[in-house]
Structure 1
Amino acid sequence: MSTALARPLDGIRVVEFASFVAGPSAGMALAQLGAEVIRVDPIGGNADFKRWPLSVRSDESLYWNSLNRGKKSVSLNLRADAGRDLLLALATAPGPDAGIVVDNAVGRSWFSYEALAARRADVIAVRVEGRADGSAAVDYTVNGGSGVASLTGPADTDRPVNHILPAWDLLCGQEVVTAVLASLRRRDRTGQGAHVQIALSDVAMAAVANLGWFSEAAERGPRARHGNHLYGSFGTDFASSEGDRVMIVALTPRQWSAIGAATGTTEVLAALEKSLGADFNTDEGRYAHRELIEAVLRPWFAAHTTEQVHAGLSAAGVLWGPYKTTADVAAEFAEDPSAEPVLTAIDQPGIGEVISANAPARWDSEYSGTAPATDLGHDTDAVLSEVLGLDAPALARLREDGVIA
């Protein structure tokens, strides 16, 4: 977003005491909206400080530095009462736009909602949990229990297939953002604070239920997996003569017609449709006969180069997209940074130039911009001075006592 424009959360202060993906992704999203996000870690870093992937240039965590862009970093000795007291003070500092905390500090009674509310009655505390009963869970364990791993993967295996994307973590992070903003809106209207708990397992179960997948299973039994075929309509991947793959999808009659036009198979598909007594203009008609349709289309792709396939699909208006590796995307960005406009390059201290991203939402047609992550604890003195009013002698005493690094 242009620096000339005020971002929507300018002036809001959020204290983030969280690790891994859900909480930090929420903090990053709030920072991209303009909030001052202060991430607090133990001295030496939390459990995610050296999480893979690591940069080959410096052994620094690309993961940690990516999820903490645009935040301030404070590190405290949280084993000491004085360090805990400083964190509680930061989380409950006065001001109409402060007293907002995001954490996943399950099991830390000293950082409970009651401890926060005792210092500031209208505190907004949003906590990420594993499960609603307080037990531990992460994206990878939650995903298995949601049933999604039994739907993913090729048709010729009955083993569960995990997905690499921590989708539930990321979705949970956005639930946290929603909870923060809704709580802030209510506090502005009523003066009332908020105690919000969001369990990762609840996020996953709710998402799958809201897609109707549990209800489907209750009625029909378990859904058979079928690889890259789209469920409930027609869509699958094809290889060009050079072996590059594309995904095509038909969700509407117009999109279905475009596939026939692009591949020159309109008449063949119409004859197949007639012989089967099917209606390929419907989702169910295309889905029921997806393998036959795939067999009709496959020779056209195999007979054309990647460039010809891309051009032919685009010219006919087919809904399609290429398959790329992450290395492909990185190489294309290096050649043409405007190819994916949400991406941008920044200089990350300690690593060098890295590929970053703006917030996906464009305000007044402009992206948010991005900023590097600061070193662990970089802002400790400045934040404690600005927010808590600690002077140089007080900071020196904290340093001598090992409370700050």
Structure 2
Amino acid sequence: MYDLLGTLSLIEVSSFVAAPTIGLYCAQFGADVIRVDQIGGGQDFHRLPVNERGDSFSWENLNRAKRSVALDLTRSEGRELLVRLCQDVGTLATNLPPRGFLAHEKLEAGRLDMISVRVMGWPDGAIALDYTVNAGVGYPALTGHGDEPVNHSLPAWDFITGAYGAFALLAAVQRRAATGLGGEVRLPLTDIAMGTVANLGRVAEVVHTGQDRPRLGNAVYGTIGRDFVTADGARVMIVAINERQWQGLVRALDLSSAVAGLEAAFGVSLSGDDGVRFRHRDAIFAVLEKAIAAITHAELVERLDVEGVTHGPYNTLPQAMQDERLFTANPLFTMSNNNPSGLAYPAAGAIATIPQMERTPAVPAPHIGQHTEQVLAERLKLPAGEIARLVDTGIAGIAP
């Protein structure tokens, strides 16, 4: 946690991953993020993984350092309170549809400089999820072997959208400070995905070649990189991403003669051009496989480290959590004891490191409705009697 956004307040009405990530990243840098949920929790409140009681570990980690207001959004009075909160704060992050009671044009009717950042599926409002978007933009067609698509389990487009959404929100806030103008930022997952694909050069590549890339299995596109197995059965990912690392890999495995043989056989030089090496990757991989299979993992690591070649083991998450650099001695993590699930465990704070500032510990997620009374009094100036009426009639909810 870093106190860099202490003057920013944000209403968040969101579920699942992308939109909550916008609020999470802002909260980790000190913004006052007020999450508004349906009383009892929204559709992601019990999303797996959960404990025996059904408390979601995903929810409580995507909503750290936020405040929680609970309203009955199925009733008009609850929706009206939410609209008033949005207009009072002036900044909203949501994945609710662009048409509805939180439509930007309705909010800005009561506050001209209103800012809304809205995560969507398709630009026209049609539904899409990270997993369908990933299938649609072609990445499962590049992974694995054979003809069947291979999905991956990381919702990458959701997290990229969340990060881009936090950036776009701060850009809109800066514009408002300079001009007094608000506005809506729409973030369709499909556009985030296709824009990112284009930024990686893949659209230009398809236009140039007229076709898609072949499946590469575990090989890295455009360079020499793949998984290999050592004599003692350890599987290691090795990537020689540039000329220096390629030459280091050749020295580490004593492959000068073997590489010279490949160069003579193919009539090419394997020095100085990643593209040439990539085109002859199968022959190079065969040489690497033989050399690596003859030595232990410990010996391989020692040799690669001496030559500065990038490598890493294949871990399960439990194994990764034994690594002091990744986890046990990583200052990113601090013990979190007051989580809604009741489980104490190391939790991630702000992911960035700012050497000039003190990193403060991760802050727990709120209980649903934990700050309802506080926020209604503070932001809407409601008297205690009116807040009590809202709670008694079920319009507002408070934490047990």
TMscore range, shorter length: over 0.9
In structure 1, what is the Cα distance between the partners aligned to 2:342 and 2:261? 60
What amino acid does structure 2 have at the position aligned with 1:49? F
What amino acid does structure 1 have at the position aligned with 2:219? H
1:151 to 138, 142, 155: 142
1:9 is matched with 5
Cα deviation 1:278-320 (Å, max 9, x = unaligned): 2212111110111111111112322222222222211121122
1:263·1:300 contact (CA, 8 Å) conserved in 2? yes
In structure 1, what is the Cα distance between the partners aligned to 2:270 and 2:131? 38
What amino acid does structure 2 have at the position aligned with 1:54? V
1:326 is matched with 317
2:366 is matched with 374
1:121 is matched with 112
State how 1:50-199 maps to structure 2 within 5 Å.
50-56=46-52, 58-93=53-88, 98-106=89-97, 109-154=100-145, 157-199=146-188
2:228 is matched with 238
In structure 1, what is the Cα distance between the partners aligned to 2:360 and 2:266? 53
In structure 1, what is the Cα distance between the partners aligned to 2:295 and 2:208? 43
Bigger shift: residues 59-68 or 359-368: 359-368
1:250 is matched with 240
What amino acid does structure 2 have at the position aligned with 1:351? G
Cα deviation 1:42-67 (Å, max 9, x = unaligned): 011111111111135x4311100110
Q: Aligned pair 1:24/2:13, yes or no?
A: no
SS at 2:11's partner residue? strand
Cα deviation 1:179-224 (Å, max 9, x = unaligned): 1111111110110111111111110111111212122223321211
In structure 2, what is the Cα distance between the partners aligned to 1:344 and 1:265? 45
1:404 is matched with 396
Deviation at 1:102, TM superposition (A): 0.4
2:270 is matched with 280
What amino acid does structure 2 have at the position aligned with 1:241? A
2:349·2:361 contact (CA, 8 Å) conserved in 1? yes
In structure 2, what is the Cα distance between the partners aligned to 1:80 and 1:336? 45
In structure 2, what is the Cα distance between the partners aligned to 1:298 and 1:197? 48
In structure 1, what is the Cα distance between the partners aligned to 2:269 and 2:360? 46
State how 1:344-363 maps to structure 2 within 5 Å.
344-347=334-337, 348-363=339-354
Cα deviation 1:239-261 (Å, max 9, x = unaligned): 12232211111222111011011
In structure 1, what is the Cα distance between the partners aligned to 2:369 and 2:309? 51
1:127·1:197 contact (CA, 8 Å) conserved in 2? yes
Deviation at 1:236, TM superposition (A): 0.7
TM-score, normalization by structure 2? 0.94
In structure 2, what is the Cα distance between the partners aligned to 1:266 and 1:331? 37
2:217 is matched with 227
2:299 is matched with 308
Deviation at 1:108, TM superposition (A): 5.0
1:17·1:41 contact (CA, 8 Å) conserved in 2? yes
1:91·1:100 contact (CA, 8 Å) conserved in 2? yes
TM-score, normalization by structure 1? 0.93
In structure 2, what is the Cα distance between the partners aligned to 1:277 and 1:12? 62
SS at 1:92's partner residue? helix
In structure 2, what is the Cα distance between the partners aligned to 1:109 and 1:328? 46
What amino acid does structure 2 have at the position aligned with 1:234? I
In structure 2, what is the Cα distance between the partners aligned to 1:107 and 1:192? 20
In structure 2, what is the Cα distance between the partners aligned to 1:302 and 1:235? 16
Cα deviation 1:23-79 (Å, max 9, x = unaligned): 1011000001110001111011111111111135x4311100110011111110001
Deviation at 1:270, TM superposition (A): 2.4
Deviation at 1:334, TM superposition (A): 12
In structure 2, what is the Cα distance between the partners aligned to 1:335 and 1:273? 39
What amino acid does structure 2 have at the position aligned with 1:10? G
Aligned residues: 393
2:36·2:68 contact (CA, 8 Å) conserved in 1? yes
Q: Which stretches in structure 1 are left out of the alignment for 5+ residues?
A: none
1:209 is matched with 198
What is the RMSD of the two structures over their aligned residues, measured on CA atoms?
1.8
What amino acid does structure 1 have at the position aligned with 2:166? V
In structure 1, what is the Cα distance between the partners aligned to 2:255 and 2:264? 14
SS at 1:110's partner residue? coil
2:320·2:326 contact (CA, 8 Å) conserved in 1? no
In structure 2, what is the Cα distance between the partners aligned to 1:16 and 1:368? 23
What amino acid does structure 2 have at the position aligned with 1:313? L
1:393 is matched with 385
Deviation at 1:374, TM superposition (A): 1.2
Could you tell me the percent identity over the aligned residues?
40
Over 3 Å counting, the alpha-carbon distance change for 1:261 and 1:368 in structure 2 is farther
What amino acid does structure 1 have at the position aligned with 2:213? R
In structure 2, what is the Cα distance between the partners aligned to 1:345 and 1:320? 30
Q: Which stretches in structure 2 are left out of the alignment for 5+ residues?
A: none
In structure 1, what is the Cα distance between the partners aligned to 2:345 and 2:87? 35
In structure 2, what is the Cα distance between the partners aligned to 1:208 and 1:26? 21
In structure 1, what is the Cα distance between the partners aligned to 2:270 and 2:81? 65
1:240·1:303 contact (CA, 8 Å) conserved in 2? yes
Bigger shift: residues 367-376 or 393-402: 367-376
